[in-house]
Structure 1
């Protein structure tokens, strides 16, 4: 009878049995992998089991404390959001808190990466077989870079948001609501070299109810002339009978003031200050804040949110016929990118200034209704970067929470419009008392306390199939629906 071969040796057929050394190698490999997985799931646990217990205890306690704190903060935030949403907005827009969060994410990234490297060391890679060693190095590198990259990307996004807030919202002067409303002057400025904000291409006052967010957009034509300035302003002293000089229009007030800076001692932006004085004189509204929108940069914002859907009433030309990119935006419901959206809002061919103003109001309404919190979260970094390049404003960072909350409230409501244009208002010689009455009526109507007057904000152009001019419902003689509507969405 042949002898029986012992374990770990070749049997009679030449098959190799599992040796003690191979089993030990697999045990070491599994141990090394387990240490890395432990570091991923509970940072510091690998050191507690097989390394420096003091380091492991500190890391594990920090991780556990952050985990518990984060969970409690999330629950509290969800509860508070139900009853006091502004508090959440104030947290996410506070530069100091964002700085702490950014530094915390960077520290966590570095510390976690160090723990992964230490877990690899504790796993004694030199005692592993070559194939096992390569596997351990690959897995450790993947986990280390993934965790560290995620945290550093989060720190980068927080940094972009903080930088954007500090760059755009530099003012510290808080202005309370006037008669229960915030009046914000929105200026659309060309972005050419040396031309930032010199001649606003569009001027709109967003009058926002401080409680409900109900908004009235009051459009002012850039070619308005012979209008008064706010009493007591430097411009009112220079033009006591109104801005009636030769070739003087509303969009030229800024340029005139920039050329006469000596009249505005201590002013950081005489052009904006003079324009506000004009708008207040025309509308009889007190302006709380202003925002200058770089219309070229607006393209990037639209692209950042994934485009905007608009009801194109007529083909709109994009570019000029001799340009290579010239084309038409076809009629119909279209989702447009930033380039085409800007041309939809600014195209002049086959249109007039007032039809163009109507299209601009439709773009504003579409952005308000379509840019949801979910869209902002998904595209946060792109939006923050685009907004930094697009907007200049005197809105204080401390007021961001208020206006973010009002924006969310406004999304669920109708937006009213009143444009001070023909046939209601003659831009060359505006009836200012009539303008004041119309503005007051529009706001009262939006608040539910007004009555429709003849020719008031409830008036709409004849909506026949042919009553479309320059892409807007209506005509120059009848007026445009989006310029004078109780529900801008329906008029677009």
Structure 2
């Protein structure tokens, strides 16, 4: 090749690289330069439109958090973003290939041809690959929302609060809702997100159901059958499904009727948490730091102790956190309730948006296997916003356990009064407690005058039982 021809080939090669660079910076510009105006103009205007939309959306998300949460949780919006990213990946890759073709690669040397193919391939892989990865993450988020949340109707707040029943249990395939191991009502202020956790012991008996409900008709004097406890309501309902019409979750429905009768709170939504799946969620966020007040044996009563969670402030993995929350050696149900509330508080306080983003796929996978709920997908953004508001506030807690409440013959009027007081304090209002009247027709008098104290990390008030009743759960834990 003569020097003149060689210089001409180098010029064409540099032009080819320029066309690729132009496609990287402004898709369609290479086609406009080369005279392919229709393709170039459509690609360039589409790029400008999408870029402007993305910048406007990013600005709106930055200044208006509800919009960002809606965009991240709305299945239709996520589907649109998924399709746009996928089409962009394919279209941009096609423009890179076309820019390489426009550069007339057969007109320069073999080494330049190979280099042009390598550069073009790298640009295609980087740009299209990044867009496809983004589309995949959006698809994962959409699948998680669709798999986890329902499509039912949203309910309004009751007296300015959303009341969500959170149940925990060892659930497996086909076992959602069977004998929940723990029950907590999260009463959330609809404006501020200030939350009160109301814990109910699984062994409570002789309690009423919400007036006029199916269970109230079956047990007008309260759940007073032999061996009937709160965590057995679900099982009773599932053995008598014909009473609940076409309900998909008669056990959950019956449990809600019991919770409403006990607390006098109207439940908006429910969530069933698989405790085994919870372990994966903790691992997905890199563990959780807890103040372990006393050594906690790993293992159930009657089984061999396989290890110990040593006392001290330490970061626990999913397996250790699960046993911290559920351990029964040397403790009772009420101390476990206290520890479970400490885990809730720590998770709310320690999982930051950056952590959630960094571990997004792991969290989505763990969460889809963790929770079954009737919360509509359309309401997820609202509750995420409330959770972020609650993150910077004190978390109050009330547990309906001895010595305050007798689990065998609960004073229902006293319970209603204590629940109302806890909510009033959380809202900054002076509580207006009414003295116990000795119980409602379906409830029985409490022995709350007892001075004995049970529970705690392993067994005493000083060792952590205070987490069951406090206006600042974080400080109590």
Q: Would the TM-score normalized by the shorter structure come out above 0.5?
A: yes
Cα displacement (A) at 1:455 = 12
State the match for 2:467 in structure 1.
Answer: 482
Change (3 A) 1:63 1:310: same
Say whether residues 1:36 and 2:20 are aligned partners: yes
Say whether 1:112 aligns with 2:92: yes
Aligned to 1:90: 70
Unaligned runs of 5+ in 1: 1-7, 9-17, 457-461
1:280 Cα deviation after fit: 0.7
Distance 2:317 2:218 in 1: 44
How has the CA–CA distance of structure 1 residues 319 and 117 changed in structure 2, closer, same or farther, with 3 Å as cutoff? farther
1:155 pairs with 2:140: no
Aligned pairs, number: 462
SS in 1 for 2:369: helix
Cα distance between partner residues in 2 of 1:147 and 1:473: 60
Matched-pair contact (CA < 8 Å) for 1:320–1:326: no
Paired with 2:343 and 2:134, the residues of 1 have a C-alpha distance of: 32
Matched position secondary structure for 2:211? coil
Deviations 1:105-131 (A, max 9, x none): 110010001111111222222333222
Secondary structure (helix, strand or coil) at the match of 1:328 reads strand
Q: Which residue pairs with 1:76 in the alignment?
A: 60
* 1:225 equivalenced with 2:225 (yes/no): no
| Cα pair distance change 1:39/1:323, threshold 3 Å | farther
Q: Please list the CA deviations of residues 254-292 of structure 1 after superposition, one character each: whole Å capped at 9, or x if unmatched.
A: 011001001111212110000000001111111111111
In the TM superposition, what is the alpha-carbon distance from 1:383 to its structure 2 partner? 2.1
- Offset of 1:452 from its aligned partner? 9.7
Which whole-Å CA distance do the structure 2 matches of 1:322 and 1:119 have between them? 72
The whole-number CA distance in structure 1 between the counterparts of 2:121 and 2:301 is 55
Q: Which residue of 1 aligns with 2:257?
A: 277
Q: Distance in 2 between matches of 1:239 and 1:324?
A: 41
Q: Deviations over 1:349-375 (max 9, x none)?
A: 222111111110001011111122222
Give, in whole Å, the separation in 2 of the partners of 1:455 and 1:154.
59
Per-residue CA shift, 1:24-55, capped at 9, x if unaligned? Answer: 33223222222211111111111122262321
Bigger shift: residues 249-258 or 22-31: 22-31
Instruction: Give the distance between the partners of 1:362 and 1:55, measured in 2 at CA.
Output: 60
- Residue 268 of structure 2 corresponds to 288
8 Å CA contact 1:225, 1:249 repeated in 2: yes
Return the alpha-carbon distance in structure 2 between the equivalents of residues 405 and 437 of structure 1. 29
Structure 2 runs not aligned, ≥5 long: 437-450
1:361 aligns with 2:341: yes
Deviations 1:230-272 (A, max 9, x none): 1111111111111121221111110110010011112121100
Distance 2:221 2:434 in 1: 30
2:330 & 2:111 partners in 1: Cα distance? 72
- In 2, the alpha carbon distance for the partners of 1:445 and 1:38 equals 62
- Distance in 2, Cα, partners of 1:186 & 1:369: 18
CA shift in 2, pair 1:184/1:468, >3 Å:
closer
State the Cα RMSD in Å.
2.7
Q: Which residue of 1 aligns with 2:362?
A: 382
TM-score (norm. length: structure 1):
0.88
Shift of 1:148: 1.1
Q: TM-score, normalised by structure 2?
A: 0.90
Work out the CA distance in 2 between the residues paired with 1:125 and 1:224: 80
- How far apart, in 1, do the equivalents of 2:113 and 2:303 lie? 61
The 8 Å contact of residues 297 and 308 in structure 2, kept in 1 or not, is answered as: yes
Of 94-103 and 21-30, the range deviating more from structure 2 = 21-30
The answer as to whether partners of 1:422 and 1:479 remain within 8 angstroms in 2 is no
Matched, 1:470 2:457: yes
Query: Superposed, which structure 2 residues align to 1:233-244 within 5 Å?
Result: 233-244=213-224
CA contact (8 A) 1:190 1:197 kept: no
Instruction: Give the Å deviation of 1:315.
Output: 2.2
Partner of 1:46: 30
Q: Within 5 Å, which residues of 2 pair with 1:75-474?
A: 75-79=59-63, 81=64, 85-319=65-299, 326-451=306-431, 469-471=456-458, 474=461
Measured in 2, the distance between the counterparts of 1:272 and 1:387 equals 20
Task: State which drifts further: 215-224 or 427-436.
Answer: 427-436
Superposed displacement of residue 491, structure 1: 0.4
Q: 1:348 offset after TM fit, Å?
A: 1.4
Write the distance in 2 (CA, Å) between the matches of 1:38 and 1:301.
Answer: 44
Per the alignment, do residues 116 and 474 of structure 1 end up closer, same or farther by CA in structure 2, a change over 3 Å counting?
same
